Amino acid sequence: MLKNIFILALAFSLTIGEAAYASPLSNLLQQCQSLTLSPVEYKSELSPLANAIAVERADLGLRNLSDGLNYAQKKFSQFFNQDQASQVLACQMQLTDYRQQRLMQLNQAPWQSALQHSQDPQLQQLALRWQWLARQQLPKTTQLSLIASQTEFQHRLNLPSQSISLERAQCMVDDRTHIGLAEVSRYLLNQADAHCRQRIWHAYQSRGGYAAQTALHRYQTELEQLAEKNFYPDVASYLLRDNLLNTPKQVADYLDISASYHAQTLPPWDLGWTLRQMGAPAIDVDPKALALSIFTQLGLRTDKIDENYWRLWQGKRLLGQINWQASPKQIDHLTVRQSVLGSQFGVSELIAPERLLNARQQQRFVESLALAIRNLAAGSRFYLNNRYVVERDGQRLAGHWLKAQFASQQGLPPQIVNAQKQWQNYRARVALAAYQKPEQRINPVSAFNQRFSKPLANSGTDMRFSGLVVQAANLYQGLWQQDMGHWLERLRQQNCLTQDQLFDVLFVNEAGFTAKRQLHQLFGHQSPFELTKRMINEIYHTRAVTDHCQL
């Protein structure tokens, strides 16, 4: 079954178009219909490793099928008819049921005790993954209710029928009295009147109205019930429970300290206009040439089947295959198949334009390439160790380190970069507060005025954006990962950490360590929050790391 699913997944990666997906999808759905959960039992006469490998062999086909369906859905869902979409959803639900059944079995004796007391760190980490995945499971009714509230909130935010009155704001352009939501960015880019930019920006932030606010409140209430059921003091504590920064205070302190280094930056409504006056720097980079230079820097080599299909090697180890897919604007990475040492090599698809024309595209491409390399280079014998880092805020450290190392020399002006980071910081602070107890919440106007050079009107307290329900209290993670990536690269440049060391810990991670254990490998047994304070101190001060590199 493993071979069949790989061939089907590879067929997806070799073809695109409405006709191309139909046959592989049909075969995947047939595989799903005939799929059963292979029985496994712990055999005391075998070693813990042998028992764990037996589970891996029994379940790897199920996991590959799930990856194949996810790949098909991400790439071809616009071509699905209603029947196909329903079948894919039904198959995914069936796979979820199988995973839950298996986790219930594996989180009981003798599985947990045998693996936890093993001397093999891969087995210890596998047992940890079983426990962590079981904690993520929610009753189906709860899952569906949360998804419904999320979807309703996002739908209300982006209703095409919504418009903003320019006449009421006395900010008409070209005799137009209203603009749609999709036109706001262009309006802010072209409107010379700063007062008008601010008023229209405020109107956009409060989009969705009462209906969106009702959906958000319903989502918050459902999460409050979950937090209370699991004995957490508030929703933020519940959502952060498995993170490196695992309390609301730690996240708030990180955001507030970080913000203090960028205080009084450009307000968000002036960003587009200011950048236009400065002129956005242009670049012209071949993504494949950039990928080759990154591979060389990481000590990897390629074996080109042709221009669009590359095999990637680390020494004598075949990591897997990268399939290139051209797209006019899209930049993304899709997992076709997860690498599992000793069982299967990985397959990743990279989607990119023929040329990268600005710094943002280059950053996005390097992030996507890092995900592809991480998928192929992961060095554990167990799928779950390779696929999940556990801590959400530690999941993309490899990509942010690589992005810091290969940043465009023609990046945005520091004034713009700092203002963008401050806006991200502010949104993350607002999102965190939305899930804290009322007495612990910040005043959004005061928090804004501390961060930006122009004040926020009191009417601006009504902030609505999709991150409130998509990432919620976890919205800070992108900023934290970016800061950590810059710090790791600075330490590498100062010879405190080596290229090979960082690649082995962040990309290969043979033992399947969690992000916390990965940081322990690099820095010793310092807590994530102590590392965070040190990171902020060093990346926002120009002083060099001490000569003796006390990590």
pLDDT tens, 507-541?
Answer: 999 999 999 999 999 999 899 999 999 999 998 87
pTM of this prediction?
Answer: 0.91
Of 121, 137, 153, the residue at which a domain comes to its end is: 137
Taking CA atoms, 492 is separated from 213, 408, 503, in Å, by 46, 18, 11
Q: Answer with the one of 353, 375, 405 that is the final residue of a domain.
A: 405
**Which residues, including other chains, have CB under 8 Å from residue 535's CB and lie 6 or more apart?**
483, 484, 487
323 in any annotated domain: yes
What dihedral angle (degrees, nearest 10) is formed by the CA atoms of 363, 364, 369, 370? 70
Residue 115 lies in a domain: yes
The domain boundary, picked from 364, 381, 405, lies at: 405
442 located within any domain: no
C-beta separation of 218 from 149 below 8 A: yes
Convert the pLDDT of each residue in 191-219 to its tens digit: 999 999 999 999 999 999 999 999 999 99
**Residues belonging to the chain:** 551
Can you give the pLDDT at residue 411? 79
SS (H, E, C) 157-176: HCCCCCEEECCCCCCCECCE
Distance between CA atoms of 131 and 388, rounded to whole angstroms? 12
Backbone angles phi, psi at 314, to 5 degrees: -120, 105
**54 is written with which tokens?**
């037996």
Q: Is residue 540 part of a domain?
A: no
CATH number at residue 327: 3.40.390.10
In this predicted structure, what is the pLDDT of residue 228? 97
Q: Is residue 548 part of a domain?
A: no
Instruction: Assess contact for 181 and 164: CB atoms under 8 A.
Output: yes
Looking at the 3D structure of the chain, how many domains does it have?
2
- Quote the pLDDT of residue 551: 64
DSSP readout, 436-451?
S-GGG---HHHHHHHH
Output the furthest CA–CA distance in the chain (Å, rounded): 83
**Per-residue pLDDT for the chain (551 aa), expressed as one digit of tens each?**
444 444 444 444 443 444 445 567 888 999 998 889 999 999 999 999 999 999 999 999 999 999 999 999 999 888 888 999 999 999 999 999 999 999 999 999 999 999 999 999 999 999 999 999 999 999 989 999 999 999 999 999 999 889 998 876 678 777 788 899 999 999 999 899 999 999 999 999 999 999 999 999 999 999 999 999 999 999 999 999 999 999 999 999 999 999 998 878 999 999 999 999 988 788 999 999 999 999 999 999 999 999 999 999 999 999 999 999 999 999 999 999 999 999 999 999 999 999 999 988 999 999 999 999 999 999 999 999 999 999 989 889 999 999 999 987 677 888 999 999 999 999 999 999 999 999 999 999 999 999 999 998 766 668 999 999 999 999 999 999 999 999 999 999 999 999 999 999 999 999 999 999 999 999 998 999 999 999 999 988 755 455 457 66
Tokens of 402: 């690589």
The token pair at 434 is 């939305």
Q: Is residue 455 part of a domain?
A: no
Contact 386, 340 (CB under 8 A): yes
pLDDT of amino acid 173:
77
Instruction: Please indicate, yes or no, if residue 73 is contained in any of the structural domains.
Output: yes
Give the structural domain span for 400.
Answer: 287-405
Note the pLDDT of residue 22: 55
CB 265 within 8 A of CB 453: yes
In one letter, which amino acid is 345? F
Residue 335 lies in a domain: yes
Rg (CA), the chain: 25
